Amino acid sequence: MTDIVTKLTDFSKRFNADLEKCFPTINGTENRAVEAMKYSVMNGGKRLRSYLLCECAALFGVGYETAFPAAASLEMLHSYSLIHDDLPAMDNDDLRRGKPTCHKQFDEATAILAGDGLLTYAFSYLSEAQIIRPEIRLTLVQMLSDAAGAFGGMVSGQTLDLYAGDIEVTSDSEAEKIISRLEEMKTGRLLRYACEAGAVLGKAPLDMRQIIVGYSRKIGQAFQIADDILDREGDQQIVGKTLHKDDSQNKFTFVSFYGIETARQKARQLVKEAIEQIAVFGDHAENLQNLAHYIIERNH
């Protein structure tokens, strides 16, 4: 655990220094949106998605410099989703990563614009990354928009999350299916993109790509369960966001459905299965194995 925490910390230092350089200051009042974008994206995220992307790329011989534009654009997009999720019209949160949310630090209109700015810049930055071959760049742009979008991607997941309470659920199995679908779209698709993008960058053969996707699905579910457990049992100072919201908002989650102990066991089982998935890579995938453990053992 200490080892992967050190690796993530070292990665984050390098990655953050490079990410900050992606945001030039522009003249005039319009720089306010850029400041809000930088505030949110440079605000202390764990960088799990970018680390996953770079590690999966490394499995197929792709170095950090080539993977960076894909990882940076993914963090931009992830930050947009957090800014918009925190808005009063959605989750209405004051705290993110232990600091005031974007709309609290700036104002609601600026936060909406910062989210819009990050979403659009993510695609612009990725599509201009000369270090990635044009056909691969195009594939990544398409994959990222699918993962983030309204046709089975993150926007669909967020929509289902907001309105799942209106669904008349008639059986446990129906509720379980809704939770799985919701989590798979809201959280799982970006994590899957992170892993699959690494494989695409490395022109991985289809069977290897499928293995990576299999791993990403398992860690995606485990990540979400860990997030739900942190919402119930975490320390707000460490988690850095308002806790106990799932219960107060009657959210459909694995923890509310299974109870905390069963959810914990399920998360452990998923991590085991995730590690089995990537056994074919042996020691080359050691960081991905350790990351799978970290995902459920983290305290924030």
d(CA 253, CA 246): 8
* Distance of closest approach, residue 158 Cβ to ligand GRG, in angstroms: 4
* Distance of closest approach, residue 100 Cβ to ligand GRG, in angstroms: 14
Contact 202, 62 (CB under 8 A): yes
Minimum CB distance to ligand GRG smaller for 87 or for 169: 87
* Distance of closest approach, residue 48 Cβ to ligand GRG, in angstroms: 5
Place of tokens 């919402």: 231
Minimum CB distance to ligand GRG smaller for 202 or for 234: 234
Contact 128, 174 (CB under 8 A): no
Contact 267, 288 (CB under 8 A): no
* Distance of closest approach, residue 23 Cβ to ligand GRG, in angstroms: 17
Minimum CB distance to ligand GRG smaller for 37 or for 48: 48
Minimum CB distance to ligand GRG smaller for 55 or for 85: 85
195 residue type, one letter: C
* Distance of closest approach, residue 242 Cβ to ligand GRG, in angstroms: 11
Nearest to 227 by CA among 289, 183, 176, 276: 183
Terminal C-alpha separation, the chain: 14
Non-local CB neighbours of 275 within 8 Å, separated by 6+ positions: 289, 292
Contact 167, 203 (CB under 8 A): no
Contact 228, 253 (CB under 8 A): yes
d(CA 63, CA 132): 11
Minimum CB distance to ligand GRG smaller for 216 or for 281: 216
Contact 157, 129 (CB under 8 A): no
Minimum CB distance to ligand GRG smaller for 186 or for 218: 186
Interface with ligand GRG (CB under 6 A): 45-46, 48, 78, 81-82, 84-85, 97, 154-155, 158, 186-187, 227
Place of tokens 């910390």: 9
Minimum CB distance to ligand GRG smaller for 77 or for 199: 77
Nearest to 219 by CA among 140, 294, 299: 294
Q: In whole angstroms, how far apart are CA 79 and each of 119, 122, 143, 266?
A: 9, 10, 18, 28
Minimum CB distance to ligand GRG smaller for 275 or for 291: 291
Q: What is the DSSP string of 62-90?
A: --HHHHHHHHHHHHHHHHHHHHHHHSTTT
* Distance of closest approach, residue 128 Cβ to ligand GRG, in angstroms: 24
* Distance of closest approach, residue 119 Cβ to ligand GRG, in angstroms: 9
* Distance of closest approach, residue 97 Cβ to ligand GRG, in angstroms: 5
